[in-house]
Structure 1
Amino acid sequence: MKSSTLPDGMPVLSRGRHRWPRRGACFMEFASLLAGERWSDHPSCTHPLLGQLARQVNDCTSDAGRHQLVPLIPSVVGLRGDDRTSLTVAVAVAASALLDAPEGTQRALAAGLLRAEEVSADAGPRLATTRRQARSALDLVPGAVAWVQRLGCHDRLTLQTFGHRCAPTMIRCAVEGVVATGRPDCDQRLRALLEAGIAACPAPEPERASGPPGVVRARS
Protein backbone atom coordinates (compact mmCIF):
# COMPACT_ATOMS: atom_id res chain seq x y z
CA MET A 1 0.00 0.00 0.00
CA LYS A 2 1.32 3.47 -0.78
CA SER A 3 2.34 5.07 2.49
CA SER A 4 1.58 8.55 1.14
CA THR A 5 -2.13 7.74 1.04
CA LEU A 6 -2.34 6.63 4.67
CA PRO A 7 -3.61 9.03 7.33
CA ASP A 8 -2.38 8.85 10.92
CA GLY A 9 -5.49 6.78 11.75
CA MET A 10 -7.94 4.94 9.54
CA PRO A 11 -10.86 7.17 8.48
CA VAL A 12 -14.36 6.82 9.90
CA LEU A 13 -16.96 5.56 7.44
CA SER A 14 -19.49 8.34 6.91
CA ARG A 15 -21.93 9.79 4.39
CA GLY A 16 -20.95 11.65 1.23
CA ARG A 17 -17.65 12.66 -0.32
CA HIS A 18 -14.66 13.74 1.73
CA ARG A 19 -11.75 15.87 0.64
CA TRP A 20 -9.28 14.27 3.05
CA PRO A 21 -9.20 10.94 4.93
CA ARG A 22 -9.03 12.76 8.26
CA ARG A 23 -12.51 14.12 7.54
CA GLY A 24 -13.88 10.60 7.11
CA ALA A 25 -14.49 8.30 4.15
CA CYS A 26 -17.37 6.89 2.18
CA PHE A 27 -17.28 3.20 1.27
CA MET A 28 -15.53 3.70 -2.06
CA GLU A 29 -13.06 6.29 -0.74
CA PHE A 30 -12.04 3.72 1.85
CA ALA A 31 -11.68 1.18 -0.99
CA SER A 32 -9.36 3.55 -2.87
CA LEU A 33 -7.23 3.78 0.27
CA LEU A 34 -7.01 0.00 0.61
CA ALA A 35 -6.16 -0.35 -3.08
CA GLY A 36 -3.30 2.15 -2.81
CA GLU A 37 -4.97 4.41 -5.37
CA ARG A 38 -5.35 8.16 -5.41
CA TRP A 39 -8.02 9.21 -2.87
CA SER A 40 -11.34 9.05 -4.74
CA ASP A 41 -14.92 7.86 -4.43
CA HIS A 42 -14.64 6.55 -8.02
CA PRO A 43 -11.49 4.39 -7.85
CA SER A 44 -10.49 2.25 -10.80
CA CYS A 45 -10.17 -0.84 -8.59
CA THR A 46 -13.95 -1.46 -8.70
CA HIS A 47 -16.46 -1.76 -11.53
CA PRO A 48 -18.33 1.57 -11.92
CA LEU A 49 -21.78 0.07 -11.36
CA LEU A 50 -20.68 -1.75 -8.22
CA GLY A 51 -19.09 1.50 -7.08
CA GLN A 52 -22.39 3.32 -7.63
CA LEU A 53 -24.21 0.71 -5.56
CA ALA A 54 -21.66 0.97 -2.74
CA ARG A 55 -21.87 4.78 -2.63
CA GLN A 56 -25.65 4.79 -2.55
CA VAL A 57 -25.86 2.07 0.09
CA ASN A 58 -23.26 3.94 2.15
CA ASP A 59 -25.19 7.22 1.96
CA CYS A 60 -28.60 5.68 2.68
CA THR A 61 -27.46 3.58 5.64
CA SER A 62 -27.91 5.17 9.06
CA ASP A 63 -24.94 6.53 10.97
CA ALA A 64 -25.54 3.88 13.61
CA GLY A 65 -25.55 1.03 11.10
CA ARG A 66 -22.86 2.14 8.66
CA HIS A 67 -20.07 0.39 10.56
CA GLN A 68 -21.63 -2.91 9.45
CA LEU A 69 -20.48 -2.12 5.90
CA VAL A 70 -16.80 -1.91 6.81
CA PRO A 71 -16.09 -5.67 6.51
CA LEU A 72 -17.32 -5.58 2.90
CA ILE A 73 -14.87 -2.93 1.72
CA PRO A 74 -11.90 -5.22 0.95
CA SER A 75 -14.14 -7.46 -1.15
CA VAL A 76 -14.73 -4.76 -3.79
CA VAL A 77 -11.04 -4.05 -4.29
CA GLY A 78 -10.03 -5.60 -7.60
CA LEU A 79 -13.60 -6.32 -8.75
CA ARG A 80 -13.32 -4.53 -12.09
CA GLY A 81 -15.70 -6.97 -13.75
CA ASP A 82 -16.08 -7.64 -17.46
CA ASP A 83 -18.50 -6.84 -20.28
CA ARG A 84 -21.30 -8.73 -18.50
CA THR A 85 -20.96 -7.07 -15.11
CA SER A 86 -23.47 -4.25 -15.55
CA LEU A 87 -26.10 -6.83 -16.44
CA THR A 88 -25.31 -9.41 -13.78
CA VAL A 89 -25.04 -6.85 -10.97
CA ALA A 90 -28.19 -4.97 -11.99
CA VAL A 91 -30.23 -8.16 -12.16
CA ALA A 92 -28.98 -9.48 -8.82
CA VAL A 93 -29.65 -6.21 -7.01
CA ALA A 94 -33.04 -5.59 -8.64
CA ALA A 95 -34.17 -9.14 -7.91
CA SER A 96 -33.17 -8.71 -4.27
CA ALA A 97 -35.22 -5.53 -3.87
CA LEU A 98 -38.16 -6.26 -6.17
CA LEU A 99 -40.70 -8.09 -4.06
CA ASP A 100 -40.98 -5.60 -1.18
CA ALA A 101 -40.52 -2.41 -3.18
CA PRO A 102 -43.33 0.19 -3.40
CA GLU A 103 -45.54 -0.18 -6.46
CA GLY A 104 -43.91 2.55 -8.55
CA THR A 105 -40.41 1.29 -7.83
CA GLN A 106 -41.47 -2.29 -8.42
CA ARG A 107 -42.73 -1.36 -11.89
CA ALA A 108 -39.44 0.40 -12.71
CA LEU A 109 -37.43 -2.61 -11.54
CA ALA A 110 -39.68 -4.98 -13.48
CA ALA A 111 -39.11 -2.91 -16.61
CA GLY A 112 -35.37 -3.20 -16.13
CA LEU A 113 -35.55 -6.91 -15.47
CA LEU A 114 -37.60 -7.48 -18.61
CA ARG A 115 -34.98 -5.68 -20.67
CA ALA A 116 -32.26 -7.66 -18.88
CA GLU A 117 -34.04 -10.89 -19.75
CA GLU A 118 -34.10 -9.91 -23.43
CA VAL A 119 -30.44 -8.88 -23.48
CA SER A 120 -29.44 -12.08 -21.69
CA ALA A 121 -31.32 -14.16 -24.25
CA ASP A 122 -29.60 -12.34 -27.11
CA ALA A 123 -26.18 -12.93 -25.48
CA GLY A 124 -26.67 -16.68 -25.49
CA PRO A 125 -25.53 -19.39 -23.06
CA ARG A 126 -22.97 -17.30 -21.19
CA LEU A 127 -25.79 -15.27 -19.59
CA ALA A 128 -28.26 -18.12 -19.18
CA THR A 129 -28.02 -18.01 -15.38
CA THR A 130 -28.69 -14.28 -15.31
CA ARG A 131 -31.65 -14.73 -17.65
CA ARG A 132 -33.14 -17.34 -15.30
CA GLN A 133 -32.58 -15.09 -12.31
CA ALA A 134 -34.41 -12.24 -14.01
CA ARG A 135 -37.31 -14.52 -14.99
CA SER A 136 -37.63 -15.97 -11.49
CA ALA A 137 -37.88 -12.48 -10.04
CA LEU A 138 -40.41 -11.34 -12.65
CA ASP A 139 -42.62 -14.33 -11.93
CA LEU A 140 -43.09 -12.97 -8.39
CA VAL A 141 -44.67 -9.70 -9.60
CA PRO A 142 -47.06 -10.49 -12.47
CA GLY A 143 -49.01 -7.27 -11.94
CA ALA A 144 -45.93 -5.10 -12.43
CA VAL A 145 -44.90 -7.14 -15.46
CA ALA A 146 -48.34 -6.72 -17.05
CA TRP A 147 -48.18 -2.96 -16.45
CA VAL A 148 -44.79 -2.71 -18.16
CA GLN A 149 -45.86 -4.85 -21.08
CA ARG A 150 -48.85 -2.59 -21.70
CA LEU A 151 -46.41 0.25 -22.38
CA GLY A 152 -45.29 -1.61 -25.50
CA CYS A 153 -41.51 -1.01 -25.53
CA HIS A 154 -40.17 -2.88 -28.55
CA ASP A 155 -36.64 -1.58 -29.21
CA ARG A 156 -33.90 -4.13 -28.58
CA LEU A 157 -30.89 -3.19 -26.48
CA THR A 158 -27.31 -4.33 -26.76
CA LEU A 159 -25.38 -5.43 -23.69
CA GLN A 160 -23.42 -2.18 -23.78
CA THR A 161 -26.51 0.01 -24.16
CA PHE A 162 -28.20 -1.78 -21.28
CA GLY A 163 -25.16 -1.06 -19.11
CA HIS A 164 -25.29 2.65 -19.88
CA ARG A 165 -29.04 3.21 -20.02
CA CYS A 166 -30.77 0.73 -17.71
CA ALA A 167 -28.35 -0.66 -15.15
CA PRO A 168 -27.63 2.59 -13.21
CA THR A 169 -31.35 3.34 -12.95
CA MET A 170 -32.06 -0.17 -11.66
CA ILE A 171 -29.42 0.24 -8.95
CA ARG A 172 -30.80 3.61 -7.90
CA CYS A 173 -34.39 2.34 -7.84
CA ALA A 174 -33.44 -0.74 -5.82
CA VAL A 175 -31.72 1.31 -3.12
CA GLU A 176 -34.50 3.91 -3.04
CA GLY A 177 -37.08 1.14 -2.90
CA VAL A 178 -35.51 -0.36 0.21
CA VAL A 179 -35.34 3.05 1.89
CA ALA A 180 -38.94 3.89 0.93
CA THR A 181 -40.31 0.89 2.82
CA GLY A 182 -39.27 2.50 6.09
CA ARG A 183 -38.77 -0.90 7.66
CA PRO A 184 -36.75 -1.12 10.87
CA ASP A 185 -34.30 -3.53 9.21
CA CYS A 186 -33.51 -1.06 6.43
CA ASP A 187 -29.77 -1.03 7.18
CA GLN A 188 -29.59 -4.81 7.00
CA ARG A 189 -31.52 -4.89 3.73
CA LEU A 190 -29.27 -2.25 2.19
CA ARG A 191 -26.24 -4.28 3.21
CA ALA A 192 -27.87 -7.33 1.59
CA LEU A 193 -28.22 -5.38 -1.68
CA LEU A 194 -24.51 -4.60 -1.63
CA GLU A 195 -23.66 -8.22 -0.84
CA ALA A 196 -25.81 -9.32 -3.79
CA GLY A 197 -24.01 -6.91 -6.09
CA ILE A 198 -20.57 -8.04 -4.92
CA ALA A 199 -21.48 -11.70 -5.40
CA ALA A 200 -22.71 -10.98 -8.94
CA CYS A 201 -19.48 -9.28 -10.01
CA PRO A 202 -16.97 -11.72 -11.52
CA ALA A 203 -13.85 -12.25 -9.42
CA PRO A 204 -10.63 -10.99 -11.02
CA GLU A 205 -8.36 -13.29 -12.94
CA PRO A 206 -5.19 -14.22 -10.99
CA GLU A 207 -2.98 -11.91 -13.04
CA ARG A 208 -5.40 -9.02 -12.53
CA ALA A 209 -5.62 -9.67 -8.81
CA SER A 210 -1.88 -9.20 -8.34
CA GLY A 211 -0.40 -5.87 -7.40
CA PRO A 212 2.33 -4.10 -5.45
CA PRO A 213 3.20 -5.53 -2.00
CA GLY A 214 0.68 -4.53 0.62
CA VAL A 215 -2.22 -3.93 -1.74
CA VAL A 216 -5.36 -5.67 -0.52
CA ARG A 217 -6.53 -8.35 -2.94
CA ALA A 218 -10.19 -9.10 -3.62
CA ARG A 219 -11.18 -12.66 -2.71
CA SER A 220 -8.77 -15.50 -2.28
Structure 2
Amino acid sequence: MIEPKKAPDGMPQLSRGKHRSPKTGACFMEFASFLAGEPWSDSPQCTDPMLAHLARSVNDQLSDARRDELAPDIPRVVGLRGDHRVLAPVVALRAAANALPIVAAGRQQALAVALLSLPRLVPPDLVPALRDDVDRALASAPQATAWAARHLRTHPVREKDLRKGTAAVTVQLATVGILEACVDDPESHLIALLRDALADVEDVLSTPDTPAPVVAPRREPVPA
Protein backbone atom coordinates (compact mmCIF):
# COMPACT_ATOMS: atom_id res chain seq x y z
CA MET A 1 0.00 0.00 0.00
CA ILE A 2 1.33 3.44 -0.96
CA GLU A 3 1.89 5.71 2.01
CA PRO A 4 -0.08 8.96 1.66
CA LYS A 5 1.92 12.12 1.14
CA LYS A 6 2.10 14.44 4.11
CA ALA A 7 1.37 18.13 3.91
CA PRO A 8 4.51 20.20 4.51
CA ASP A 9 4.70 22.83 7.21
CA GLY A 10 4.54 26.49 6.27
CA MET A 11 1.82 26.25 3.60
CA PRO A 12 -0.80 29.02 3.43
CA GLN A 13 -3.97 28.84 5.47
CA LEU A 14 -6.82 27.36 3.49
CA SER A 15 -9.18 29.97 2.12
CA ARG A 16 -12.14 30.31 -0.22
CA GLY A 17 -11.89 30.57 -4.02
CA LYS A 18 -9.02 30.62 -6.51
CA HIS A 19 -5.61 32.11 -5.78
CA ARG A 20 -2.95 33.22 -8.25
CA SER A 21 -0.10 31.89 -6.12
CA PRO A 22 0.59 30.50 -2.64
CA LYS A 23 1.41 34.05 -1.53
CA THR A 24 -2.28 34.95 -1.68
CA GLY A 25 -3.58 31.77 -0.05
CA ALA A 26 -4.68 28.31 -1.15
CA CYS A 27 -7.85 26.32 -1.46
CA PHE A 28 -8.00 22.56 -0.85
CA MET A 29 -7.27 21.55 -4.45
CA GLU A 30 -4.58 24.20 -5.00
CA PHE A 31 -2.78 22.75 -2.01
CA ALA A 32 -3.17 19.31 -3.60
CA SER A 33 -1.62 20.54 -6.87
CA PHE A 34 1.40 21.71 -4.86
CA LEU A 35 1.75 18.36 -3.09
CA ALA A 36 1.52 16.54 -6.43
CA GLY A 37 4.27 18.65 -7.93
CA GLU A 38 1.91 20.02 -10.59
CA PRO A 39 1.49 23.60 -11.78
CA TRP A 40 -0.53 25.69 -9.30
CA SER A 41 -4.19 24.98 -10.04
CA ASP A 42 -7.51 24.20 -8.37
CA SER A 43 -8.08 21.48 -11.01
CA PRO A 44 -4.91 19.38 -10.91
CA GLN A 45 -4.49 16.23 -12.98
CA CYS A 46 -3.76 14.17 -9.86
CA THR A 47 -7.42 14.00 -8.77
CA ASP A 48 -10.62 12.87 -10.44
CA PRO A 49 -12.45 15.98 -11.69
CA MET A 50 -15.70 15.21 -9.85
CA LEU A 51 -13.92 14.55 -6.58
CA ALA A 52 -12.02 17.82 -7.10
CA HIS A 53 -15.35 19.57 -7.75
CA LEU A 54 -16.69 18.26 -4.45
CA ALA A 55 -13.52 19.28 -2.59
CA ARG A 56 -13.69 22.82 -4.00
CA SER A 57 -17.36 23.10 -3.13
CA VAL A 58 -16.87 21.92 0.46
CA ASN A 59 -13.81 24.18 0.82
CA ASP A 60 -15.81 27.21 -0.34
CA GLN A 61 -18.92 26.46 1.74
CA LEU A 62 -17.02 26.19 5.02
CA SER A 63 -16.32 29.17 7.24
CA ASP A 64 -12.80 30.42 7.84
CA ALA A 65 -13.04 29.03 11.36
CA ARG A 66 -13.65 25.46 10.16
CA ARG A 67 -11.89 25.19 6.78
CA ASP A 68 -8.48 24.23 8.13
CA GLU A 69 -10.01 21.02 9.51
CA LEU A 70 -9.76 19.76 5.92
CA ALA A 71 -5.99 20.16 5.75
CA PRO A 72 -5.11 16.62 6.97
CA ASP A 73 -7.25 15.18 4.15
CA ILE A 74 -5.53 17.04 1.31
CA PRO A 75 -2.80 14.42 0.75
CA ARG A 76 -5.49 11.77 0.29
CA VAL A 77 -6.70 13.25 -3.00
CA VAL A 78 -3.25 13.11 -4.61
CA GLY A 79 -3.36 10.16 -7.02
CA LEU A 80 -7.10 9.51 -6.65
CA ARG A 81 -7.82 9.29 -10.35
CA GLY A 82 -9.26 6.43 -12.39
CA ASP A 83 -12.16 5.80 -14.73
CA HIS A 84 -14.15 9.04 -14.54
CA ARG A 85 -17.21 7.24 -15.94
CA VAL A 86 -17.32 5.31 -12.65
CA LEU A 87 -15.90 7.83 -10.19
CA ALA A 88 -18.14 10.76 -11.18
CA PRO A 89 -21.42 8.99 -10.34
CA VAL A 90 -19.88 7.50 -7.19
CA VAL A 91 -18.97 10.96 -5.88
CA ALA A 92 -22.37 12.37 -6.84
CA LEU A 93 -24.21 9.49 -5.18
CA ARG A 94 -22.26 10.03 -1.98
CA ALA A 95 -23.08 13.74 -2.00
CA ALA A 96 -26.78 13.10 -2.56
CA ALA A 97 -26.97 10.24 -0.04
CA ASN A 98 -25.43 12.35 2.72
CA ALA A 99 -27.53 15.40 1.86
CA LEU A 100 -31.01 14.01 1.21
CA PRO A 101 -31.94 13.19 4.85
CA ILE A 102 -31.18 16.71 6.10
CA VAL A 103 -31.72 19.25 3.31
CA ALA A 104 -34.86 21.33 2.85
CA ALA A 105 -37.82 19.73 1.09
CA GLY A 106 -37.35 21.91 -1.97
CA ARG A 107 -34.00 20.26 -2.68
CA GLN A 108 -34.96 16.71 -1.73
CA GLN A 109 -36.84 15.94 -4.94
CA ALA A 110 -33.87 16.66 -7.21
CA LEU A 111 -31.53 14.68 -4.96
CA ALA A 112 -33.95 11.74 -4.92
CA VAL A 113 -34.03 11.76 -8.73
CA ALA A 114 -30.23 11.57 -8.73
CA LEU A 115 -30.21 8.72 -6.21
CA LEU A 116 -32.70 6.71 -8.27
CA SER A 117 -30.98 7.29 -11.63
CA LEU A 118 -27.22 7.44 -11.06
CA PRO A 119 -26.70 3.91 -9.63
CA ARG A 120 -27.07 2.38 -13.10
CA LEU A 121 -23.78 4.05 -14.08
CA VAL A 122 -21.85 2.20 -11.37
CA PRO A 123 -20.87 -1.48 -11.73
CA PRO A 124 -23.07 -3.43 -9.29
CA ASP A 125 -20.25 -4.99 -7.25
CA LEU A 126 -18.59 -1.69 -6.35
CA VAL A 127 -18.97 0.33 -3.13
CA PRO A 128 -21.69 -1.76 -1.44
CA ALA A 129 -21.59 0.51 1.62
CA LEU A 130 -22.48 3.48 -0.57
CA ARG A 131 -25.40 1.58 -2.10
CA ASP A 132 -26.68 0.82 1.40
CA ASP A 133 -26.41 4.52 2.28
CA VAL A 134 -28.33 5.41 -0.89
CA ASP A 135 -31.16 3.08 0.12
CA ARG A 136 -31.24 4.51 3.64
CA ALA A 137 -31.29 8.06 2.31
CA LEU A 138 -34.23 7.31 0.00
CA ALA A 139 -36.11 5.66 2.85
CA SER A 140 -35.56 8.74 5.03
CA ALA A 141 -37.46 10.97 2.59
CA PRO A 142 -40.43 8.90 1.38
CA GLN A 143 -42.40 11.80 -0.09
CA ALA A 144 -39.46 13.05 -2.17
CA THR A 145 -38.64 9.49 -3.21
CA ALA A 146 -42.22 8.84 -4.34
CA TRP A 147 -42.24 12.10 -6.30
CA ALA A 148 -38.92 11.22 -7.95
CA ALA A 149 -40.21 7.77 -8.88
CA ARG A 150 -43.28 9.26 -10.56
CA HIS A 151 -41.16 11.85 -12.33
CA LEU A 152 -38.79 9.21 -13.71
CA ARG A 153 -41.67 7.11 -14.99
CA THR A 154 -42.84 10.00 -17.16
CA HIS A 155 -39.48 11.68 -17.75
CA PRO A 156 -36.79 8.97 -17.85
CA VAL A 157 -33.23 10.29 -17.82
CA ARG A 158 -31.00 9.21 -20.69
CA GLU A 159 -27.50 7.94 -19.96
CA LYS A 160 -25.83 10.76 -21.90
CA ASP A 161 -27.77 13.33 -19.89
CA LEU A 162 -26.75 11.66 -16.64
CA ARG A 163 -23.13 11.79 -17.70
CA LYS A 164 -23.27 15.29 -19.16
CA GLY A 165 -24.14 17.29 -16.10
CA THR A 166 -26.22 15.44 -13.52
CA ALA A 167 -23.29 14.48 -11.30
CA ALA A 168 -21.82 17.98 -11.09
CA VAL A 169 -25.22 19.60 -10.45
CA THR A 170 -25.97 17.01 -7.77
CA VAL A 171 -22.70 17.71 -5.96
CA GLN A 172 -23.32 21.47 -5.94
CA LEU A 173 -26.95 21.08 -4.86
CA ALA A 174 -25.94 18.74 -2.05
CA THR A 175 -23.18 20.90 -0.59
CA VAL A 176 -25.20 24.11 -0.66
CA GLY A 177 -28.20 22.25 0.73
CA ILE A 178 -26.20 20.81 3.61
CA LEU A 179 -24.80 24.21 4.56
CA GLU A 180 -28.31 25.71 4.62
CA ALA A 181 -29.95 22.73 6.35
CA CYS A 182 -31.76 23.22 9.64
CA VAL A 183 -29.48 20.89 11.59
CA ASP A 184 -26.96 21.33 14.34
CA ASP A 185 -23.47 22.02 12.97
CA PRO A 186 -24.00 21.71 9.21
CA GLU A 187 -20.30 22.34 8.62
CA SER A 188 -19.46 19.05 10.32
CA HIS A 189 -21.81 17.35 7.87
CA LEU A 190 -19.90 18.94 4.98
CA ILE A 191 -16.55 17.78 6.34
CA ALA A 192 -17.95 14.27 6.85
CA LEU A 193 -19.28 14.27 3.27
CA LEU A 194 -15.87 14.98 1.77
CA ARG A 195 -14.22 12.31 3.93
CA ASP A 196 -16.91 9.77 3.02
CA ALA A 197 -16.40 10.54 -0.69
CA LEU A 198 -12.65 10.11 -0.33
CA ALA A 199 -13.22 6.71 1.28
CA ASP A 200 -15.61 5.68 -1.52
CA VAL A 201 -13.13 6.63 -4.25
CA GLU A 202 -10.30 4.90 -2.41
CA ASP A 203 -12.51 1.82 -2.20
CA VAL A 204 -13.20 1.87 -5.95
CA LEU A 205 -9.55 2.38 -6.87
CA SER A 206 -8.38 -0.38 -4.53
CA THR A 207 -10.76 -2.92 -6.06
CA PRO A 208 -8.75 -5.30 -8.29
CA ASP A 209 -9.74 -5.23 -11.95
CA THR A 210 -12.45 -2.65 -11.50
CA PRO A 211 -14.89 -3.38 -14.33
CA ALA A 212 -15.71 -0.80 -16.94
CA PRO A 213 -19.12 0.72 -16.39
CA VAL A 214 -21.99 -1.01 -18.12
CA VAL A 215 -25.38 0.63 -18.07
CA ALA A 216 -27.59 -1.63 -15.98
CA PRO A 217 -31.34 -1.72 -16.35
CA ARG A 218 -32.92 1.35 -14.84
CA ARG A 219 -33.57 0.99 -11.13
CA GLU A 220 -37.24 0.35 -10.46
CA PRO A 221 -38.63 3.41 -8.69
CA VAL A 222 -40.28 3.02 -5.34
CA PRO A 223 -44.05 2.88 -5.89
CA ALA A 224 -45.96 6.01 -4.98
TM over 0.5: yes
- Cα pair 1:91 1:133 within 8 Å, conserved: no
Q: Percent identity?
A: 45
Task: Structure 1: give runs of 5+ residues left out of the alignment.
Answer: 1-6, 207-220
- Cα pair 1:79 1:204 within 8 Å, conserved: no
- Cα pair 2:12 2:25 within 8 Å, conserved: yes
Displacement of 1:124 in angstroms is 5.4
1:73 maps to a residue whose letter is I
Task: Structure 2: give runs of 5+ residues left out of the alignment.
Answer: 1-7, 209-224
Equivalent residue, structure 1, for 2:149: 149
Cα distance change on mapping 1:154 and 1:184 into 2, 3 Å: closer
Q: In structure 2, how many angstroms separate the alpha carbons of the residues matched to 1:8 and 1:125?
A: 42
Equivalent residue, structure 1, for 2:26: 25
Deviates more, 1:17-26 or 1:123-132: 123-132
Displacement of 1:127 in angstroms is 4.5
TM-score (normalised: structure 1): 0.80
TM-score (normalised: structure 2): 0.79
Counterpart mapping for 1:47-66 below 5 A: 47-66=48-67
2:189 maps to a residue whose letter is R
SS in 1 for 2:52: helix
- Cα pair 1:57 1:190 within 8 Å, conserved: yes
Q: In structure 2, how many angstroms separate the alpha carbons of the residues matched to 1:12 and 1:70?
A: 9
Displacement of 1:103 in angstroms is 0.4
SS in 2 for 1:125: coil
Displacement of 1:50 in angstroms is 0.5
> C-alpha offsets along residues 108-167 of structure 1, whole Å, 9 cap, x if unaligned?
1101001123x25xx653358355543332122110011223334443533x64233211
- Cα pair 1:81 1:204 within 8 Å, conserved: no
Q: In structure 1, how many angstroms separate the alpha carbons of the residues matched to 2:123 and 2:31?
A: 37
Select 2:95's aligned residue among 93, 96, 102: 93
Cα distance change on mapping 1:124 and 1:199 into 2, 3 Å: closer
Equivalent residue, structure 2, for 1:210: none
Equivalent residue, structure 2, for 1:34: 35
Displacement of 1:182 in angstroms is 5.1
> C-alpha offsets along residues 7-35 of structure 1, whole Å, 9 cap, x if unaligned?
99412210100001110000000000000
